């Protein structure tokens, strides 16, 4: 009888533990929501954004045939200046604005390398607005940030700064250059945090 009681008690405790774990948020205590995505590089390699945890990220939707395309030069300069301090520039090609990123992954990679010497991380082409928007951009555009709040991406080269904590700390308009003093101020402030 005691043995049956112990078996029933153990089964009940196990069921309770399983039930509690199924209701738990799988991200709780693991990683910030901005880093809770897997994205493919231009080469097709899947990257867990959690691998950037502890770094300051500058996330930018990019395009090769846009009037703002020369911003690649400032993005590369930021990468060269601050990468050793913990900045990672992440470029996400997007063809949603005036069809200004029509190239294949190889064409995009070659264009960026030849014209701007890009060596920061470039990812596969994504959608940033609408029902086909990738999860990362659905999240980024939902967050209350300064100086620009939540809402859809307005054009190529919109910028998000994600701090070392993994929280989105700033969002900048496409026409705000990557080397604008306000962008630099936010990046340097986040890099100074340990």
HSE of 169, CA atoms in CB hemisphere, 13 A:
22
Closest residue by Cα to residue 162 from 65, 71, 56:
56
Query: How does strand 87-93 pair with strand 56-62?
Result: parallel
List beta partners, residue 147: 171
Closest residue by Cα to residue 128 from 61, 176, 64, 59:
61
> Which one-letter DSSP state was computed for residue 184?
H
Q: What is the rounded end-to-end Cα distance, in angstroms, of the chain?
A: 58
Residues 6+ apart with CB under 8 A from 166: 31, 32, 33, 34, 35, 53
Enzyme catalytic residues: 66
């Amino acid at each position: 009888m005691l043995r049956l009681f112990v078996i029933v008690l153990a089964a009940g405790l196990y069921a309770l533990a399983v039930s509690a774990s199924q209701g738990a948020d799988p991200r709780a205590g693991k990683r910030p929501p901005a880093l809770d995505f897997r994205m493919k590089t231009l080469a097709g390699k899947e990257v867990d954004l959690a691998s950037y945890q502890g770094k300051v990220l500058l996330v930018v939707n990019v395009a090769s045939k846009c009037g703002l395309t020369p911003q690649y030069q400032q993005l590369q300069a930021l990468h060269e200046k601050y990468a050793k301090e913990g900045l990672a520039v992440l470029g996400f090609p997007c063809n949603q604005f005036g069809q200004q990123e029509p190239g294949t992954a190889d064409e995009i990679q070659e264009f960026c390398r030849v014209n701007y010497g890009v060596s920061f991380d470039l990812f596969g082409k994504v959608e940033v607005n609408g029902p086909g928007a990738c999860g990362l951009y659905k999240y980024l555009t939902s967050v209350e940030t300064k100086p620009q709040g939540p809402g859809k991406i307005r054009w190529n080269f919109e910028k998000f700064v994600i701090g070392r904590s993994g929280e989105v700390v700033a969002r900048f308009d496409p026409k705000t250059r990557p080397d604008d003093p306000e962008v630099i101020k936010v990046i340097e402030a986040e890099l100074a945090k340990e």
